[in-house]
Structure 1
Amino acid sequence: MIKTLFRYCSLRENAMGVMEEVCNICDASSKTRSHPASYLTDLNNLQNVTCWVSEPSTDYPYNVTLTLSLRKKYELTYISVQFCNRLADSMAFYKSVDFGKTWMPFQFYSTECQKIYDRNPNIKIGKHNEQEALCTNTHALTSVPNRVAFATLENRPSAFEFEHSPVLQDWITATDIRVVFNRLSPDQVTIDFIPVIIMCEYFYISPGADCERCKTFHLDRPWGRATSENANHCVGKSFLQFFLSRR
């Protein structure tokens, strides 16, 4: 049975600029003291800084899971998770490329990688394993006590030639992200995420949500990925131009 009333604590900056722990009561039955999942919010909106609070849970293997649907394919180079309190002790990132039908490991964080995730924290990434999910010691992450930042291409050998690496292009592509908190020390988290629906900018010549093909009459050259030097626009004539040229 899920409790509706429990105590939780968070880090706050006091008038002297020092971070201190402040404790409150979370009551799921109270509108003013509840912290539902709808409180996951964009960190950049300073007018609406709210925190989602899960029920306290520290007993592995029980977990708290967040699943974020991006609604289309994105290439993710950076994922930032901001906690209202300290970092979770052990958490795992998973990604899906088929809108949540299947999941694959993306990144692990834990003070005990081997015990919690059966992962060697000292694995080195080479050309042969550029799509391997690593496990990083949570305490070695950052000087910021309540933030984790996952750079998906960091320490991947082909990162500097990303535009020519189908392996890494596939590695950072996702339609959904799942964050699993396996062993929690804090009870709150906010995630830097804005749900939006994005269409291809040149939909009229590159149909499909991801601009993944060229439209009829725009096939003068094969479809190609955009690069930092060339947008690789589809080239051709519109139906009207084609019709007029045939008259």
Structure 2
Amino acid sequence: MLWPVFFTLQAVCTSVAHAMQHYPAAWGHYDVCKSQIYTEEGLAWDYMACQPEATDMTKYLRVALDPPNITCGDPPETYCALENPYMCNNECDAATEELAHPPELMFDFEGRNPTTFWQSTSWKKYPKPLQVNITLSWNKTIELTDDIILTFESGRPEQMVLEKSLDYGRTWTPYQFYATDCLDAFTMEPKTVNDLTQRTLLDIICTEDYSRGYVWKNDKTVRFEIKDRFALFAGPRLHNMASLYGQLDTTKNLRDFFTITDLRIKLLKPATGATMVDENNLSRYFYAISDIKVQGRCKCNLHANSCVFDKGKLGCECEHNTTGPDCSRCKRHYHGRAWSVGSYLPIPKGTANICIPSNHGPVPRVCDNAMLRCQNGGTCHHHQRCHCSPGFTGVLCERARCQGPGDCDDQLSGQASFHLPHIGRQLAVILVVLLLLIVSLC
């Protein structure tokens, strides 16, 4: 009789220790979905809002180019340097591994020598525009957590647009325009992210910061600044995340602004060195990208703390009785109230907004391994018996007991259930001593 209780208490001790180890790390990060607490009625779950940790999302994307034959090397081609039309020692040959520049080299490990990069064909059909669409797809909703950074091996484009989709590429909206001359290229006044305010954060701007200058004199990167936009609410060093979380909680448009399923990089005009295009040396003009960084997390609506990549697809490991790729609906038999996204507030644990069991129909009971009781928020029906779901049978079901009047009957799992009220006074004293001993060992 004592062994089931001993193992139960041991599990409680382990779980509490685990929660104590992780809780400090969860402050403001929402990486714990639930923890066990001890109440007058026994063990119970304390549910919290949770989300996966941010990671490098380029590991999980698919890339597509339009036109599909825009990558250099078929047929082989020799390129000249933008700054020196007579220095033509860059060869591209798709049939030779050392000389090929396929799209996947935009996402490989940086720091190699020589640098690896994707490269387009040259502007050999001038004056027809040299335009390329690079589409990054996740087949999953993700939330951006850091700047999007493109590193060019060639000169940075003189005209470019970064676009986003929230519906898996069916429709697109601009994120930002880039040009050496915003008025000429897009009839927009040039701005920078520093010109934005809390009220204008969602404005689509054109910036000239990343399109001017030669690559050998200036930075090779083009950015879409996420953190500078966060800083409008969280402060310059993002020290006040509570303010940002509060805004994300209450402003759907703001949440959606940092949420994507796909990104599209529209390369509209290559670097020309701020001069007229030299039609006699068109091999000087092309695009080449050595690295793309996209930092973010799976969107799980604050109902999961992990996201798995299985069979080429990302999916949230849903908690709070939710299900779906984004945990965006309640599980079967858990429609006691409408599904709702979790909330970041109050800091630091947020509000889980769990799905609760339905209050009508023949709802099967679930024996919860941790709570050790029927989980339905009320009394047991069906002759005061808990019906265990698949995977919860045998000894686990023996320990289950009902909430409300009456304990589970002896039909539970075909064996006698565990009746705490029938334990004698002496046995209760032994249990208390055992509990104190295990807590001290924790």
Report the TM-score range of the alignment, normalised by the length of the smaller protein. 0.7 to 0.9
- Are residue 26 (structure 1) and residue 143 (structure 2) matched? no
CA distance in 1: counterparts of 2:181 and 2:196, whole angstroms: 20
CA distance in 2: counterparts of 1:164 and 1:207, whole angstroms: 23
Partner of 2:292: 191
Correspondence 1:1-247 to 2 at 5 A: 4-8=75-79, 23-43=89-109, 50-57=116-123, 61-77=129-145, 78-122=147-191, 124-126=195-197, 129-137=200-208, 138-139=210-211, 145-152=219-226, 154-155=228-229, 160=244, 161-185=247-271, 187-189=287-289, 190-192=291-293, 197-202=313-318, 205-215=321-331, 216-217=333-334, 219=336, 223-227=340-344, 229-233=348-352, 234=354, 236=356, 239-240=365-366, 241-242=374-375, 245-246=380-381, 247=384
Q: Is the Cα–Cα contact under 8 Å of residues 157 and 211 in structure 2 kept in the other structure?
A: no
CA distance in 2: counterparts of 1:43 and 1:163, whole angstroms: 36
- Residue 232 to residue 56, structure 1, CA distance change in 2 (3 Å): farther
Q: Aligned to 1:154, what secondary structure does the other structure show?
A: helix
CA distance in 2: counterparts of 1:211 and 1:59, whole angstroms: 50
- Residue 223 to residue 56, structure 1, CA distance change in 2 (3 Å): same
Q: CA-to-partner distance for each residue in 1:1-50, whole Å, 9 max, x for gaps? A: 9762323468xxxxxxxxxx994211234343221223222445859963
Q: Is the Cα–Cα contact under 8 Å of residues 41 and 50 in structure 1 kept in the other structure?
A: no
TM, length-normalised to structure 2:
0.46
Unpaired stretches in structure 1, ≥5 consecutive residues: 11-20
CA distance in 2: counterparts of 1:107 and 1:35, whole angstroms: 27
Q: Which has the higher contact order (CA 8 A, sep 6+)?
A: 1
What's the CA shift for 1:210? 1.1
* Structure with the higher strand share, 1 or 2: 1
Partner of 1:18: none
What's the CA shift for 1:153? 5.9
Q: Which moved more, 1:63-72 or 1:219-228?
A: 219-228
Please provide the CA RMSD for this pair: 3.9
TM, length-normalised to structure 1:
0.76
Unpaired stretches in structure 2, ≥5 consecutive residues: 1-68, 82-86, 235-243, 272-285, 296-308, 358-363, 367-373, 385-442
CA distance in 1: counterparts of 2:249 and 2:80, whole angstroms: 45
* Structure with the higher helix share, 1 or 2: 2
CA distance in 1: counterparts of 2:198 and 2:325, whole angstroms: 31
What's the CA shift for 1:140? 7.2
CA distance in 1: counterparts of 2:356 and 2:102, whole angstroms: 51
Larger of the two Rg values belongs to structure: 2
Q: Is the Cα–Cα contact under 8 Å of residues 91 and 181 in structure 1 kept in the other structure?
A: yes
Pairs aligned (count): 238
